Amino acid sequence: MEALVTGVAQMGPIQKIDSRAAVVRRMLALLAEAKARGCRFVVFPELALTTFFPRWVYEPGEPALDAWFEDAMPGPETRPLFDAAAAAGIGFYLGYAEKAGNRRFNTAILVDGTGRIVGKYRKVHLPGHAEPDPSRLGEHLEKRYFHVGDLGFPVFETMGAKIGMCICNDRRWPETYRVMGLQGVELIALGYNTPTGLGEPYQAAAQANMHNELSLRAGAYQNATWVAAAAKCGVEGGYPMIGQSMIVSPLGEVVAMAATLEDELITARCDMKLAAYARTEIFNFARHRRPEAYALITDRVGAGEPVVPSRAQMGLDDA
Amino acid sequence: MEALVTGVAQMGPIQKIDSRAAVVRRMLALLAEAKARGCRFVVFPELALTTFFPRWVYEPGEPALDAWFEDAMPGPETRPLFDAAAAAGIGFYLGYAEKAGNRRFNTAILVDGTGRIVGKYRKVHLPGHAEPDPSRLGEHLEKRYFHVGDLGFPVFETMGAKIGMCICNDRRWPETYRVMGLQGVELIALGYNTPTGLGEPYQAAAQANMHNELSLRAGAYQNATWVAAAAKCGVEGGYPMIGQSMIVSPLGEVVAMAATLEDELITARCDMKLAAYARTEIFNFARHRRPEAYALITDRVGAGEPVVPSRAQMGLDDA
């Protein structure tokens, strides 16, 4: 329950030919700027070490696919990032493709100011498809390459705050934020790669930034938590992705936002006490929530038939 | 699954001395305008027939409190509204204080184009307090005067659409929209009375309109549903309330918004097919939701301790 000066390290495009070493050099530059600007915590994007490879079609198990995944964390290429962050006393969130035995996850780790991995999250809401469809304007094959995350939405007490994580599409689902809100989360870190132009033209392109902002602000407000969201953005392999990395206050206001589609650091002083009034009154969950009315949220996966009370239950005269 | 031209009938202040007959005359004027503008469905506010009485302190059971509740629906004063709406073939949502035997609810009804009450909703998320506190800038005693709603969040198939209801503070809780989304809701109608200036100065006053818009747009977008929200607004008994009645599309865009704090009708053509793409792709619940990760939402009421996986579960090297 104190203030954590937080940086969001937006990253511009990473092309297929860019080496991890080259990417980590860019991250080190962002980290150095974060240190100079007083940050104690930095959020890097989803799958931050490589291009967004789920746009390309691979067969499961083929070496070219496997090459996008990390064998170890930290590994030889990422060790310099851990070392530099620990030397600066800065913790960070990092998204990467994780090998876990025979399973593969879209993963983020939480590293504290000493370089220790204190938490892990594996993406629950995988968007897109498992099968390629050449009739689409572009592929989004996360359901093909990743298993569904098996760690829930844990919240970790570290760096003087209660920090949760999610990844990209998770941010559009109110359940994501609420499960962490019910653990008292104070700051949610997330990275994203959000392509535009792959789907129905109006929704997918014209509204992508609006939906990003709406999702992040609603999750923050409704759970009285800071949200720090880092994009990988710009044009990768001919495909555009949104930027608009932002830090949102527990009152749902955007307090910092990226102005480019390139490597760019934004910062805010995240005071965990800012949400105290909201947690005591309007979003005092213990006083106001009514789980007996929420059963469908965990009982159903997809939408089903309406559940309608009888006219007698509703006290209607003809009952 | 067709288009329903919908009107939101915002209402300016209703003072303590205003009779129900006078209020219904104002509603009839709004209804006449709705007819002239092609509406087939009109949304009136929460507790639309009287002043917002939970700002005043009464003892349970005292006649002055009981007088704010309706003995019958329709009753003698509201019958002209039902008759005029049926004559025009217009359905409506109406909020009022309901007596149900010994119980009291903050209620809304759904009336179809023939004047028949086809659905009822009783407010689940009652804000405010049960005990008066003269140190506050103003009272908000809904927890004192109303029982918690006992009908869930039902969705009714009527007027060619799947219509759900909620009331005021319900709109700030993502569970409200999701429970209806899981029943395939296409249009959510709601009324509200939202005072400003009663709480922490920055949040309660400066941000009230922003939070209203954010809540309504997020609920619409995340469930691919229309939302039609009607304020009672302006200054009642010296206490100001926000306006900003609006209609939000299933893509989260505000497509109509009130421009005054007075009686005012806004309209939109609500095409239920507009959400078809969202329901097939990004918010295809059956494909993407993961209730196994949502257990806390129904298992917990208030926020509790973090649920943290072991380091072995997270596959961390030192496990």
Interval A32-88: pLDDT, tens = 999 999 999 999 999 999 999 999 999 988 999 999 999 999 999 999 999 999 999
Q: For residue A99, which amino acid is it?
A: K
Catalytic residues of A: 46, 123, 168
User: What is the structure's pLDDT at A204?
Assistant: 61
Determine which of A142-146, B50-54, B203-207, B209-213 has the lowest per-residue pLDDT on average: B203-207
Instruction: Name every chain B residue with its beta carbon within 8 A of the beta carbon of A307.
Output: 152, 154-155, 183
* B181 near A CB under 8 A: yes
Which of B297, B305, B316, B317 to mutate against chain A (most A CBs within 10 Å)?
B297
CATH code at position A30: 3.60.110.10
Please state, rounded to an integer, the average pLDDT across all residues of chain B: 95
Distance, in Å, from the CA atom of B97 to the CA atom of B283, rounded to the nearest integer, reads 35
Residue-wise pLDDT for B208-222, tens only, equals: 999 999 999 999 999
User: A297 vs B124: CB contact, 8 Å cut-off?
Assistant: no
B175/A178 Cβ within 8 A: yes
Contact A198, A51 (CB under 8 A): no
Q: Is residue B76 part of a domain?
A: yes
Structural domain boundaries enclosing B179:
3-292
Alpha-carbon distance of B214 to B208, in angstroms, equals: 10
**Residue B214 sits at the chain A interface (C-beta within 8 Å):** yes
pLDDT band of residue A278 (cuts 50, 70, 90) is: confident
Residue A239 corresponds to which tokens in the numbers above?
């495909």
- With beta carbons less than 8 A apart as the criterion, state whether B219 and A171 touch: no
Chains A and B: how many Cβ contacts under 8 Å?
259
Q: Give me the helix-helix angle, A20-36 and A79-88, nearest 10°.
A: 10
| Chain A residue nearest residue B254, CA to CA | A210
Going by pLDDT thresholds of 50, 70 and 90, the confidence category of residue A318 is low
Q: Give the pLDDT band (50/70/90) at residue B277.
A: confident
Q: Do B294 and A175 touch (CB under 8 A)?
A: yes
Q: Which residues of chain A from 89 to 128 reach within 8 Å of chain B, CB to CB?
A: 98, 100, 117, 119-120, 124-127
pLDDT band at B278 (very low <50, low <70, confident <90, very high): confident
Which is catalytic among the residues B35, B120, B123, B232? B123
Strand segments (E) across A129-263 = 155-158, 161-167, 187-193, 226-232, 234-236, 239-241, 246-248, 254-257
pLDDT at B64: 97
**Which among B199, B288, B293 is the nearest to A153, CB-wise?**
B293
* Beta-strand runs (E) in chain A: 3-10, 41-43, 91-100, 103-111, 117-122, 155-158, 161-167, 187-193, 226-232, 234-236, 239-241, 246-248, 254-257, 264-271
User: Which residues of chain B make contact with A285, given a CB cutoff of 8 A?
Assistant: 300-303
Which pLDDT score, from 0 to 100, does residue A275 have?
A: 85
CA distance A227 to A120: 17
Helix (H, G, I), strand (E, B) or coil at A129: coil
User: Does residue B302 belong to any structural domain of this protein?
Assistant: no
Please, what is the average pLDDT of chain A?
95
Residue-wise pLDDT tens digits, A174-221: 999 999 999 999 999 999 999 987 766 656 677 999 999 999 999 999
Residue B312 within any structural domain of the chain: no
pLDDT at residue B318, as a whole number? 67
Supply the pLDDT for residue B197: 77
Q: Per the residue annotation, which of B35, B46, B162, B270 is the catalytic one?
A: B46
Contact A298 B297 (CB under 8 A): yes
Confidence at residue A238, expressed as pLDDT on a 0 to 100 scale: 92
Nearest to A165 by CA among A145, A205, A202, A192: A192
3 state SS for B111-178: ECCCCCEEEEEECCCCCCCCCCCCCCCCCCCHHHHCCCCCCCCCEEEECCEEEEEEEHHHHHCHHHHH
For residue A316, is it within any domain? Answer: no
Please, are residues A155 and A163 in contact by the beta-carbon 8 Å criterion?
yes
Q: What is the pLDDT of residues A214-230, one digit of tens each?
A: 999 999 999 999 999 99
Instruction: Tell me if B306 is assigned to some domain.
Output: no
Q: pLDDT tens digits, residue range B68-93? A: 999 999 999 999 999 999 999 999 99
Shortest CB distance from B125 goes to which of A290, A301, A306? A290
Count of structural domains within chain A:
1
Q: Which residues of B touch A200 (CB under 8 A)?
A: 277, 281
Tokens of A9: 């390290």
DSSP state of B311: T
Strand partners, B119: B110
Inside any domain, residue B252: yes
**H helix intervals, A71-130:** 79-88
In this structure, is residue A208 part of a structural domain? yes
Q: Return the higher-pLDDT residue of B277 and A171.
A: A171
Task: Tell me if A157 and B306 make a contact (CB, 8 A cut-off).
Answer: yes
DSSP string, B194-236: -B-SSSSHIIIIITHHHHHHHHHHHHHHHHT-EEEEEEE-EEE
pLDDT digits (tens, 9 = 90+) for A100-155: 999 999 999 999 999 999 999 999 999 999 999 988 888 999 999 999 999 999 99
User: What is the predicted pLDDT for the residue at A262?
Assistant: 98
- Residues in chain B with CB shorter than 8 Å from the CB of A313 are 150-151
Catalytic residue status for B264: no
CB-based contact B107:B98 (threshold 8 Å): yes
SS3 at position A29:
helix
- Burial grade of A3 (CB within 10 A; 0-12, 13-18, 19 or more): middle
Name the helix (H) or strand (E) containing A142.
Answer: helix A142-145
Q: How far is CA A168 from CA A68, A139, A189, A245, B107, in A?
A: 18, 16, 10, 12, 38
Q: Give one DSSP letter per residue of B60-98, joined into a string.
A: TT-HHHHTTSBSSSS-TTTHHHHHHHHHHT-EEEEEEEE
Q: Chain B within 8 Å of A138 (Cβ-Cβ)?
A: no
Residue A9 inside a domain? The answer is yes
Q: How confident is the model at residue B141 (pLDDT cuts 50, 70, 90)?
A: very high
| B192-201 per-position pLDDT tens digit | 999 987 766 6
Contacts of B295 in chain A (CB under 8 A): 298
pLDDT(B319) > 60: no
CA B118 to chain CA centroid, nearest Å = 17
- Which B residues, 237 through 276, put their C-beta within 8 Å of a C-beta on chain A? 251-253
Q: Do residue B297 and residue A207 have CB atoms under 8 angstroms apart? A: no
- What pLDDT is attached to residue B12? 98
- Residue B136: which pLDDT band, with cuts at 50, 70 and 90? confident
Whether A149 contacts A180, CB under 8 Å: no
**Between residues 6 and 65 of chain B, which touch chain A (CB distance below 8 Å)?**
none
Question: What is the rounded average pLDDT of the residues B104-110?
Answer: 98
Structure tokens at B223: 């469930």
